[in-house]
Amino acid sequence: MRFALIADEVRVAIDSDADIVSARQKGRGLASQCGFPSTDLAVVATAISELARNIVRYAVRGEVILRLIDDNGRRGVEVVATDDGPGIPDITLAMQDGYSTSGSLGLGLPGVRRLMDEFEIASDFGKGTTVTARKWKR
């Protein structure tokens, strides 16, 4: 891991819409522990929403891992959404605004990239997807 872990990580299994709510709640809790302003709490919750709803929609089940991290005194929240679903055949395409294989807005992935400070996506077609996003305290 690149960053020091401040507290134990929180893992939330994602299986249904209700799990999305509890992942949001845990994420918001962690971020407020490290003193995020309230609008940034909403930003973190949004990222969790988008990544978790992608899991429910495209991979059926997976997991959201939430971490409080420290980078030389700078604190932040790391959100990892991971699943063993079908994976994404063309990541560049999936990251494009308005691209959706389900006729939705195609807002989620590019939206999370822009709201958060750091964004990484890895996907093995056929083996699942892992998205990592971080928000640092301002």
Partner 1 sequence: MNAELRELADEYARALENYLVGRGEAALQDAYELGRKTLAKGLGMLDVATIQQRVLLKCLMRAPTTKEGTRILRMAHKLFVESLLPFEMSHRRVQEVNTALRESEQRYRNLVDTARDVIYTLSIDGKIKSLNPVFETITGWLRDEWIGKEFSPLVHPDDLPRATTLLQVVLAGRVPPTFELRVRSKSGAYIPGEFTATPQTQEGRVVGVLGVARDITDRKRAEEALRGLNEALEEEIKRIAHALHDEAGQLLASVHIGLAEVARDLPPHTSRRLDDVRGLLTKIEEQLRHLSHELRPTILDDLGLHPAIEFLADGVSRRTGLQITVEGVPGKRMPAPTETALYRIVQEALTNVTKHAQASRVTIRFARDGRLLRCSIGDNGAGFDVLAVQARRGARGLGLIGIQERLNAVGGTLNITSIPGSGAELIICVPVEAGGADADSPRR
Residues of the shown chain interacting with partner 1 in the complex, contacts defined by CB under 8 A: 20-22, 24-25, 28, 38-39, 42-43, 45-46, 49, 97, 105, 107, 110-111, 114-115
Residue 73: both structure tokens together: 């005194």
Q: DSSP letters along 48-114, please? A: HHHHHHHIIIIIS-EEEEEEEEEETTEEEEEEEEEE-SS--S-HHHHTSTT--SSSS---HHHHHHH
- Restricting to residues 52-71, name those near ligand ATP by CB under 6 A: 54-55, 58-59
> Nearer Cβ to ligand ATP, position 68 or 88?
88
Contacts with ligand ATP, residue ranges (CB under 6 A): 54-55, 58-59, 83, 85-88, 94, 99-102, 104-110, 129
